[in-house]
Structure 1
Amino acid sequence: MRDDDELPARPSRDLVVPARLDGMSVDEMTSLRDRLRKEIARLEDEIARRSDVRRAAEALFKKPGS
């Protein structure tokens, strides 16, 4: 069974930042900010993981003497 972190990405209305913030309460903006920070952290973790995999692959297939 797949972990929630491995589910395919799907658009989320929760993470849409409105062009105008004046219609949002401070609590709504705080909640949105916190959700965005969590999503950014998730993206950074995935970027780091993929970079590690790429470096490992490049090291494995590195030409001798390079």
Structure 2
Amino acid sequence: MTEQVDYGFFVLICYTEEIYEKAKSLHHKAEELSQKYNRKIQFERIDASGTLDSASKIRAEKDMGFN
């Protein structure tokens, strides 16, 4: 049942840098919903625009395309 859910996780895969930047506001919306429903709701963006280094060249978490 949905009443037994304590945690929500939403992931948005962004195929353009423009959408990736616009999606920043969804972090705030997830926080609002967390408060409203008294549940932990987390939002993450993934940059899939092709502007990041290939996986073999990534050396730090900040370069992985997550927030």
Same fold? TM cut 0.5: no
Q: Which structure has the larger Rg?
A: 1
Higher helix residue share: 1
- The TM-score normalised by the length of structure 1 is 0.30
Higher strand residue share: 2
